[in-house]
Amino acid sequence: MGRFIYRRLIHGLIVILGVTVIVFVVTRMVGDPVQVMLPLESTPEQRAAFEKKLGLDRPIPIQFVEFMGNMARLDFGDSLWQKRPAMEIVFEKLPMTILLTAVGIGFACVLAIPLGIIAALRPGGVVDRVTVFGSLLGLSVPQFWLGLLFIVVFAVQFKILPTSGAGTPTHIILPALTMGLPTLARLVMLVRSSMIDELNRQYVKTSFAKGLPFVRVVGLHALRNAGLPIMTLVGWEVIRSLAGYSVVVETVFAWPGIGLTAIQAIEREDLILIQAIVFTAAVCVVVINIAMDFIYKLIDPRLKLT
């Protein structure tokens, strides 16, 4: 296990290093960063001072070494937009995205597992057909359209939920539903198909023939064996959300998370803040991937960690 942890951490550091190199190269390829960040009416003296402040007047190899050193200290510099450390802004916004992701995907998991199991118990039955139809409908509706529909119905027509922002528990309901419903649809379909496969296996039929309780056979043995693909999809949904998929939901509901901040940073051409956000998203993806490997091992101890 210790060797596995060591190797996974090394792989994670390589991925983060690769992302930071790409970020460095891309930010130097978009043109003159000073021209992008400063207004058109800036004087040559202002441009020279700004170049010196950012270290852009030095050779590229020296800039890269300084960039990597600052990254190791989580120091990307001050945001040009908000005039304060970029990582401070990221650490302030990231918990809001994590909260939205946890509530949205948690809601999807709580409903998807029982719905998928019930549908798998009688394939082709009324419940199964309704579940499949609802899941396909949920997969077909664009997420931004779903969010706007929720705003029109629950905030504008019935006036029972706020349209946007954060501050009270009611503010998270509509964005979490918008984020969670497509995930719910995907999870229901996966749980259903995985459980149908497991319920048709011989060990399940033998367990029923021996008189083992229904809940124990279905809820413990079959669901546990079907758990790996389900956990893979849940992990993928979490990674997608933290890596940028939450941008649509956060923009529609003005949810003050890292996705909305990324859009605002792009609009204001704040390359320093964009660098910090991309770096943080890469770290989140690596950490979640490592955590998923451990969860796989907990679900199925027979797996060999390499």
pLDDT at position 285 is: 87
Given this model, what pLDDT does residue 77 score?
Answer: 84
Question: How high is the pLDDT of residue 243?
Answer: 78
State yes or no: pLDDT of 205 exceeds 90.
no
Q: Tell me: the pLDDT tens digits for 97-154? A: 999 999 999 999 999 999 999 999 888 889 899 999 999 998 888 888 999 999 999 9
- Is residue 36 pLDDT above 80, yes or no? no
Which of 82 and 261 is assigned the larger pLDDT?
A: 261
What mean pLDDT do residues 257-261 have? Answer: 91
pLDDT digits (tens, 9 = 90+) for 44-71: 787 788 777 777 778 888 888 888 888 8
Nearest to 105 by CA among 160, 186, 207: 186
Cα–Cα distance for residue pair 198/208, rounded to 1 Å: 13
- Per-residue pLDDT tens for 2-19? 677 778 788 888 888 888
Q: Above pLDDT 70, what percent of the chain?
A: 93
Alpha-carbon distances, residue 68 vs 29, 57, 76, 229 (angstroms): 18, 17, 10, 37
Query: Tens digit of pLDDT for each residue in 271-293?
Result: 888 889 988 988 888 888 888 88
What's the pTM value of the predicted model, to 2 decimals? Answer: 0.84
The per-residue pLDDT for 302 is: 66
Q: Is the pLDDT of residue 31 over 80?
A: no
Average pLDDT, the chain: 85
